[in-house]
Structure 1
């Protein structure tokens, strides 16, 4: 990593002991990538010894000598893995990739050995039932489920096969992710004639020129982000230029050395076999068992309810976009023999033109009201202070793992429970937040939150979390200006960070974001709502040059933008959900029969009603060969969880708005598509409740009960349908 000092003997590595820096922030400057594999192996040896000591303990199993000891084990290993995981996502150099590819299968084998350790399983199983609703009960349930799902109850042959499958899947997932990164880099589109970039602003072209220079090329380089549709398509005037970018995006991971076809087919087959070994019909059933949704049938029901309405809305949007393109006399916007009238490459461009016309807003001018620093500090951090009584301040004395990374300390306000937090001085420290906002060639696309240290009271550790985004880095002396979508992403990822930072549990396994996938997105999506809350918006949405507030007509446009084009946006997301489930519903025999990835994908999308025969310009948000979420990112058979969490979010946010109901009186729901101003006292009242009932509890809670306690009623899908403009079409 940039700025790291070389170390040639891992015996002197700072990772061997807890960091002496505040909150155990890793001493990144003293970490050397060459030490990570030997340190990892030392950590595995140490962890094995700790587990063996628990199993061999001659005393009768007690909570303290078994569960406390188990949760306290593996500290060196955890420190090393946190570094490796972060570096693999944020600076995937050849050296880092080699470390990850070495460690992944070895670590999977280590975890499998723990999950199938008969002595450990027997010792934990012998512990008595714990008090209902207690953290102890949650931890015991977690470990017993982990043993069962990890293969502890299989026979010797089954355990051996399970271990082999886990190790191979780790290797394949790592390779898939590397191919995605490499394919994005090799697939970047180089333009050599400035005329091809007509439509782009000067600042945008300057960034592309700098990207080309950084890659040792002359011209303008368009790097590819993770989703199928690249944002630059909205601005390029040239149909040929748009086609080049779109085709490069869609063919990623399907050709040459980065071809992921064989990798993903083997992943699918191995996941199907593992599910079969454990007694599940398929991998999707294996996954959904741990989620809050309840069953695969419930997931199917939600997707099936939304898909026809979303597609109908998308078809209506398509017709309006087509009319716009025809009116402008666009090439290719007439009647075509193949029925394709506006291609997938051209759809974003004409949709953006129509949106600007209907909302009467200049996107480039709008971005000037969203400079990154203001969005983060005067927006996301300000909202957290108003909601939860915490402060977030820069720690200039602490250094991140890259020059672009900033380190912040989160503290309680001195009088966190009394009155507006804005008047309070900083109080007790909570933890550290690192922000890594800018794109780099070696950085994986997308945005995420992860942890270097997870909060737990067992070891007295405070959290150290990181938010990673991929915003285009501005030229020296300039500020990054964000789109409304990027503003939402800043708030979203900070919502994940809050989940980790405000955790208050005893055990690491239950800390912060260690919750089901369809619940982990709930706090982050709740936090997105605050980006458009009037007081918050007024505090950060100011012109980068003049400091002027965002004009009211632009405020209305921003809110309208959030709902504009939801037919297509929802349909491309649903297409990815159906594709994910199609791959992971396959039995072993069915998986073995699939040999053509593109053909399988086309058939799966058509069967779900989101194929090219229905929406010719639509591509799923991620196609199979670059669907990093499900083949390398931990969301296999679970991509739908974002939608399930949005059900919780859309309904749950009304718990902030409908504070009279939360206080036990009658209240009114939020208006459709509106984010009303909320009384400051109500903000703190609802924020304190959300922190106490959701954010602080990690995986120690019954998720349905927790939602009911916060909201005052069971979840409903209706607020989501209203938000996405689909309610009227589902009757």
Structure 2
């Protein structure tokens, strides 16, 4: 049997050969990948020659390619098109992957060689990228525990392997519970308020589960649901909200409460072993924030005015509703107040947001205007699922940029939310190109029906494509710095900046046309939308900050703290910061907070608003310099997107902006002055 993972792909841009990849290929490829990588590292550490950049750092960066190929494809598959096979294999592989990573990060011989090079940097006169590579490896290995004694390392490995198993189980439970809790609707009249496309999508989702004649409302990852703003039946809205909030707390095999407690406890214990009081301290030490106190200071500055604004908004909602506002009422009456105060009906925008037009004439158009790049669909190239499409991206002169894989629709096998990941990472050392993926979770209507997006879904398309551009544009020498390999509290910055083009007049006029009549979106509607930009920001900021502060609370416990009640801990944490308004639930409750308990944002969910400081400051720069121009795009591409991870993120920002970011544009944007 020829295993397609054993050699680099021969397809354009080294796109993985998905037609040839079978389930039986993954485990042997992981096995060979682990073995091969350790042998390559042993060759580095076993040599007698004194450590140099060329005999240590270069082969280190060349190592592990088989493992990287299979891991990228497998983890993309397990998140976007999972199955019983991928779920079982992921649980099996998780502890092995953790052990393998520890074998590298905790290798005292490798650490010793890197430390020697690090200590001699001044005399070696390396290039800026070489210097930063050494500094990053030394810092990361030091923080990972490479300097611990053997007994401490064994304990650390135990923590890491157990945590990898628990976080994998958390995500598996969440996907299963999310699918089980999808709301079945018997009578189409219960969906009053939804558009024809949404009703069609609900009917199609029910049909796929063998529920012909019924309608299925599948859940999204956050607490809220897009349909809550439109459904007129209050009891149906309540039913959807109740299903969303009950994920992971119903008892049985998919209950995540014990996992939350165990994960938080183990992270705290591991942090103490590594010399930190808390997991938050351990995480932020290697982010731009540097300390949990810096995070707390910023979030604490934002929470009181956000809560105040949310209470004022709630009063407006109650005035128009004539009754107390419950969580399932907020989105519905928000649209009523938006219409009453600003005469804005976001549901009326959906006919102008046909998905293909948004992609081609909105997202791609803006990128072409800014960066000169073009997109050509490649139906000859097969992706990992029939719904996933492949586009070739080229520069204005025809030179290649990379491949972009676009996977729009939700399915039971796909985890919730939207995200970008990498299948091939550009680097000059191995002469590798780049392939990136955007995943979304838009309900798929029946064949022949148009896919009409909500306002938020359009925003998400622009956001995730900002990540894709970051991955596509980065040009680096070393694999470690490929694409979006930057500090976690910086990675959301480029994607948030890309959101600005959604409503930019030239871009909006190009894509926002009625899917039936071809008429452009009325300018009056756009003007009213701009006038209402700060509307509901109290709610939006509060529900986000609640999640960010909840994440910080779980990871601010010490190894000696005894937490036994998930709901009680959550309630206390939110009350402590004044974000315990029952009408404004946290965006993610602990048992379905995938970002922090399974998705790599542990003690880092603050990153979105931390990055938004840079984003808001950058939007001001674009506006001051003429907006959507090639000159501006080329500057942003060369000084930020194209840098990847090869220099300190804030140094790259200063190079672009000419100074550090200031917070005032963010406060103004969110109405928090």
TM-score under structure 1 length normalisation: 0.89
- C-alpha deviation, 1:367, in angstroms: 0.8
8 Å CA contact 1:648–1:715 kept in 2: the answer is: yes
**Aligned pair partner of 2:203 in 206, 209, 212:** 209
8 Å CA contact 1:189–1:245 kept in 2: the answer is: yes
Tell me the equivalent position of 1:283. Answer: 279
Query: The residue matched to 2:560 in structure 1 has which SS?
Result: helix
Superposed CA offset, 1:236-283 (max 9, x none):
222211111111111101122210011111111111011101101100
Tell me the equivalent position of 2:583. Answer: 617
**Aligned pair partner of 1:29 in 13, 19, 22:** 19
Measure, in 1, the Cα distance between the counterparts of 2:645 and 2:474: 10
- C-alpha deviation, 1:561, in angstroms: 5.1
**Aligned pair partner of 2:328 in 345, 351, 367:** 345
8 Å CA contact 1:37–1:102 kept in 2: the answer is: no
**Aligned pair partner of 1:151 in 145, 153, 156:** 145
**Aligned pair partner of 1:244 in 235, 239, 242:** 239
**Aligned pair partner of 1:532 in 482, 500, 503:** 503
Tell me the equivalent position of 2:393. Answer: 410
1:315 to 2:284 alignment: no
- C-alpha deviation, 1:155, in angstroms: 0.9
Superposition map of 1:353-502 within 5 A: 353-414=336-397, 427-502=398-473
1:583 to 2:549 alignment: no
8 Å CA contact 1:228–1:621 kept in 2: the answer is: yes
1:570 to 2:541 alignment: yes
**Aligned pair partner of 1:594 in 563, 570, 594:** 563
Tell me the equivalent position of 2:669. Answer: 723
Q: Which aligned segments of 4 or more residues in structure 1 are displaced greater than 4 angstroms?
A: 130-133
8 Å CA contact 1:652–1:707 kept in 2: the answer is: no
- C-alpha deviation, 1:358, in angstroms: 2.7
8 Å CA contact 2:223–2:586 kept in 1: the answer is: yes
Measure, in 2, the Cα distance between the counterparts of 1:374 and 1:109: 46
Measure, in 2, the Cα distance between the counterparts of 1:679 and 1:302: 29
1:102 to 2:73 alignment: no
Superposition map of 1:690-701 within 5 A: 690-701=636-647
Measure, in 1, the Cα distance between the counterparts of 2:372 and 2:346: 34
Change (3 A) 1:640 1:131: farther
Superposition map of 1:142-221 within 5 A: 142-218=136-212, 219-221=214-216
Measure, in 2, the Cα distance between the counterparts of 1:345 and 1:653: 33
Tell me the equivalent position of 1:650. Answer: 616
Measure, in 2, the Cα distance between the counterparts of 1:371 and 1:222: 21
- C-alpha deviation, 1:474, in angstroms: 2.2
**Aligned pair partner of 2:577 in 589, 593, 608:** 608
8 Å CA contact 1:655–1:710 kept in 2: the answer is: no
- C-alpha deviation, 1:323, in angstroms: 0.4
- C-alpha deviation, 1:132, in angstroms: 7.7
1:55 to 2:45 alignment: yes
Measure, in 2, the Cα distance between the counterparts of 1:146 and 1:362: 49
Tell me the equivalent position of 1:257. Answer: 253
Change (3 A) 1:356 1:132: farther
Change (3 A) 1:213 1:77: same
Query: The residue matched to 2:616 in structure 1 has which SS?
Result: helix
1:136 to 2:130 alignment: yes
Superposed CA offset, 1:442-485 (max 9, x none):
10010000001111010011110000011111221232111221
Measure, in 2, the Cα distance between the counterparts of 1:690 and 1:202: 41
- C-alpha deviation, 1:560, in angstroms: 4.1
- C-alpha deviation, 1:133, in angstroms: 7.4
8 Å CA contact 2:197–2:452 kept in 1: the answer is: no
Superposed CA offset, 1:15-46 (max 9, x none):
11000000100010110122211210111001
Q: How many residues align?
A: 667
Query: The residue matched to 2:491 in structure 1 has which SS?
Result: helix
- C-alpha deviation, 1:229, in angstroms: 1.0
Query: The residue matched to 2:401 in structure 1 has which SS?
Result: strand
- C-alpha deviation, 1:285, in angstroms: 0.6
Which is worse superposed, 618-627 or 129-138? Answer: 129-138
Change (3 A) 1:691 1:400: same
8 Å CA contact 2:387–2:407 kept in 1: the answer is: yes
1:705 to 2:671 alignment: no
Cα RMSD of the aligned pairs, angstroms, is 1.4
Measure, in 2, the Cα distance between the counterparts of 1:347 and 1:242: 10
Residue segments in structure 2 that go unaligned for 5+ positions in a row: none
**Aligned pair partner of 2:294 in 294, 298, 307:** 298
**Aligned pair partner of 1:629 in 588, 591, 595:** 595
Measure, in 1, the Cα distance between the counterparts of 2:528 and 2:27: 52
Tell me the equivalent position of 1:418. Answer: none
Measure, in 1, the Cα distance between the counterparts of 2:488 and 2:360: 28
- C-alpha deviation, 1:78, in angstroms: 0.3
Residue segments in structure 1 that go unaligned for 5+ positions in a row: 1-8, 327-332, 334-340, 415-426, 660-677
Change (3 A) 1:393 1:283: same
Measure, in 2, the Cα distance between the counterparts of 1:225 and 1:92: 17
Query: The residue matched to 1:696 in structure 2 has which SS?
Result: helix
8 Å CA contact 2:4–2:25 kept in 1: the answer is: no
Change (3 A) 1:200 1:608: same
8 Å CA contact 1:293–1:518 kept in 2: the answer is: yes
Measure, in 2, the Cα distance between the counterparts of 1:199 and 1:657: 38
**Aligned pair partner of 2:263 in 264, 267, 291:** 267
Tell me the equivalent position of 2:530. Answer: 559
Query: The residue matched to 1:41 in structure 2 has which SS?
Result: helix
Query: The residue matched to 2:114 in structure 1 has which SS?
Result: helix
